Amino acid sequence: MPSSPVESPASIADRLAVVQARIRVAAEACGRDPASVTLTVVSKTQNREAIDAALAAGASVFGENRVQEAQTRWTEERARPVDVELRLIGALQSNKAADAVALFDVIETLDRDSLARTLAAAIQKAGRAPRLLVQVNTGEEPQKAGIIPRDLDAFLNSVRDDYGLIVEGLMAIPPVDEAAGLHFALLAKLAERHGLKVLSMGMSGDFETAIRFGATHVRVGSAIFGERKSPEAPSRV
Ligand SMILES: *Cc1c(COP(=O)(O)O)cnc(C)c1O
């Protein structure tokens, strides 16, 4: 017998459908095309049955926090379906950059100069280039990764001119104790100012607000899979 998941496959399919419906409603409520919002299913810490249930229910875009966990899950435990897009949404250590370039379609957490340099070298070597988002620390929280807004201009220029990397958008995780809408509005404004099309913002608790402020990608985990024991809890496979 497989270990019993927190949520049954049927309930994961139901929850996924509810989230998709809420995305549709939120987009239509502000006059946006629902197809302009992509649901990234955050599969970090989930076991194999839970992810298989999401796949069976039609999920095709997944967000992972850790390179190694994602490698195990998407190449060792199962062949990765060709139509699955993998997005790295957690901090990337430079010594994992080559692995991340090999595995992910999108890296959302470009957050420092040294990582830009390392990624550029890894991309050159691999002959494969994941799309890139810059993580912005909109709340200027000292413990949080990301470029602070006033440094974004210089960082984007350097990433392009010094390392030849193309950035397609911005990502942010607002402070937990502040109104997320202010941070979403700031991120949207920064993206617009720099002509960037992709905006990854909004999680289970606030994705509808994020859609109102222009999110093109919302990252949803617990609303689909149920509460995680802890963000760092290992996969229970
Ligand atoms: C875990 C995580 C999410 C999903 O959070 P939920 O509240 O479970 O939807 C989204 N983005 C990032 C960067 C995360 O680490």
Query: What gap in Å lies between CA 114 and CA 135, rounded to an integer?
Result: 14
Ligand 1 atom closest to the CA of 219, numbered from 1:
10
Q: What is the pLDDT of residues 37-69, one digit of tens each?
A: 999 999 999 999 999 999 999 999 999 999 999
234 pLDDT exceeds 70?
Answer: no
Q: Which three-class secondary structure state does DSSP give residue 220?
A: strand
Ligand 1 atom closest to the CA of 173, numbered from 1:
13
Ligand 1 atom closest to the CA of 44, numbered from 1:
1
Ligand 1 atom closest to the CA of 65, numbered from 1:
15
Q: Is pTM beyond 0.85 here? A: yes
Query: What gap in Å lies between CA 109 and CA 100, rounded to an integer?
Result: 11
Residue 231's pLDDT is 52
Q: Give 9 Cα–ligand 1 centroid separation in angstroms.
A: 20
Residue 2's pLDDT is 46
Q: Which of 88, 200, 203 to probe ligand 1 with, by most ligand atoms within 8 A of CB?
A: 203
Q: Give 124 Cα–ligand 1 centroid separation in angstroms.
A: 30
Query: What gap in Å lies between CA 174 and CA 178, rounded to an integer?
Result: 7
Query: What gap in Å lies between CA 58 and CA 222, rounded to an integer?
Result: 17
Ligand 1 neighbour 173 (Cβ under 6 A): yes
Q: What is the pLDDT of residues 1-42, one digit of tens each?
A: 444 455 687 899 999 999 999 999 999 999 999 999 999 999
